[in-house]
């Protein structure tokens, strides 16, 4: 049995979603592969996506950017946490020992620099899967603090040390030595009609999914309008426990008995913070996208440009999220023709490249 250590950034759920898509494809091609997942993303997320074949290790695998809300980053807190964790050789060596104990023979990191450092300490090959890296973000953040740029320079060396680099479209900083693949997304499991039937949403009526990418948020202002008419609105993360129904609005907890790619595939429109996995899964579903950008986040204009070119999409202002005005703003997108579902999924190509390049280390 080949064993892979997968280090996943907990910056929202997007990196975990991309990681799960690649892991599922690797296992489809080589069913004997087993994964050790190192992250702070909740274990249930991987259970929902992978079902079996992995061991979960709760670990602060990445600092990234500290979020004070889904749309706002806290740079001071980010620098403080980087100062606290940078250069922790004891943790790196301890994790390297754990990888040997588990029998892991390669490391895959979805932008977790810690995973790449552990691979070096363990003397095993590493793979970096990314559409951006933190050194690029820190260098291109508007008015980036000197201390943040200092950490970025250190991390640039860590990221450059990956034996194999896979970049997933839309790519922020293309590298000539990297393998580039189409957008990577998890695949839905249910037919559109089956998911709507489970939710109680009629097949012929418009349905909107609202997502903030796995970052907890208070949606009360967002939902403060009459829910008895108009499109159906489904909000994963809008409830803390069980599902709640308020007229035509359905609030779900993050950990619900509904697979998120099925929600996206059953929708006509996704309203979301502009983030990687939302873009990739909405693109593959052929649904329209109304997106809110993080104005200062360097990835945002690159994602937005790709979305505008390849999808039925439009930007809406963050101020509209505080009242029902957003519904009027997205009306034209709801009435637009759906894009073509089933666009190319880079997960298969990423898995193929990993197994071709490093499969000899696994089996």
For residue 257, give every residue at least 6 positions away whose Cβ sits within 8 Å of its Cβ, in sequence order, or none.
none
Residue 226 has pLDDT above 90, yes or no: no
pLDDT of residue 255: 81
CA dihedral 336, 214, 218, 190 (to 10 degrees): 50
In the chain the first and final C-alpha atoms are separated, in Å, by 7
Bridge partner residues of 8 (DSSP): 110, 111
Query: What phi, psi does 80 have (nearest 5°)?
Result: -60, -40
Residue 186 has pLDDT above 90, yes or no: yes
3-state helix, strand, coil split of the chain in percent (to 5) is: 40, 20, 40
Domain boundaries, the chain: 3-184+346-362, 192-334
Contact status, residue 164 vs residue 181, Cβ threshold 8 Å: no
Please indicate whether the domains covering 3-184+346-362 and 192-334 agree at the CATH topology level. Answer: yes
Strands 232-236 and 207-211: parallel
Distance CA 360, CA 105 (A): 10
pLDDT higher for 57 or 362? Answer: 57
pLDDT higher for 326 or 278? Answer: 278
pLDDT tens string 55-83: 999 999 999 888 877 677 888 898 888 88
pLDDT tens string 105-124: 999 999 999 999 999 999 99
How many residues belong to the chain? 363
CATH class of 3-184+346-362: alpha beta
pLDDT tens string 26-58: 999 999 999 999 999 999 999 999 999 999 999
Architecture of the domain made up of 192-334: 3-Layer(aba) Sandwich (3.40)
């Amino acid at each position: 049995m080949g064993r892979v250590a997968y280090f996943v950034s907990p910056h929202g759920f997007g990196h975990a979603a991309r990681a799960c898509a690649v892991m599922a494809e690797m296992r489809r091609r080589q069913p004997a592969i087993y994964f050790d997942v190192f992250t702070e993303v909740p274990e249930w997320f991987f259970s929902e996506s992978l079902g079996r074949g992995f061991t979960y290790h709760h670990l602060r695998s990445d600092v990234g950017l500290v979020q004070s809300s889904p749309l706002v980053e806290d740079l001071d807190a980010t620098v403080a946490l980087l100062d606290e964790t940078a250069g922790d050789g004891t943790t790196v060596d301890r994790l390297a020992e754990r990888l040997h104990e588990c029998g892991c023979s390669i490391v895959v990191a979805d932008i977790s620099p810690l995973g790449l450092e552990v691979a070096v300490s363990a003397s095993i090959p590493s793979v970096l899967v990314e559409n951006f890296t933190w050194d690029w973000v820190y260098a291109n953040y508007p008015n980036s603090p000197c201390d943040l740029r200092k950490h970025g320079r250190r991390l640039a060396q860590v990221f450059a040390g990956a034996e194999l680099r896979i970049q997933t479209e839309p790519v922020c900083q293309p590298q000539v030595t990297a393998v580039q693949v189409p957008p990577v997304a998890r695949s839905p499991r249910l037919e559109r009609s089956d998911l709507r039937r489970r939710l109680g949403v009629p097949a012929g009526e418009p349905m909107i999914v609202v997502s903030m990418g796995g970052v907890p948020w208070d949606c009360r202002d967002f939902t403060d309008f009459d829910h008895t008419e108009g499109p159906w609105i489904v909000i994963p993360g809008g409830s803390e426990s069980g599902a709640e129904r308020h007229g035509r609005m359905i609030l779900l907890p993050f950990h619900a008995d509904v697979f998120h790619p099925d929600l996206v595939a059953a929708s006509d429109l996704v309203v979301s913070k502009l983030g990687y996995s939302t873009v990739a899964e909405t693109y593959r579903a052929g649904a329209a996208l109304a997106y809110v950008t993080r104005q200062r986040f360097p990835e945002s204009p690159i994602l937005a440009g790709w979305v505008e070119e390849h999808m039925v999409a439009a930007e809406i202002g963050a101020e509209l999220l505080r009242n029902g005005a957003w519904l009027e703003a997205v009306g034209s997108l709801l009435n637009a023709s759906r894009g073509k579902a089933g666009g190319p999924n880079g997960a298969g190509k990423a898995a193929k490249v990993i197994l071709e390049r490093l499969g000899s280390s696994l089996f």
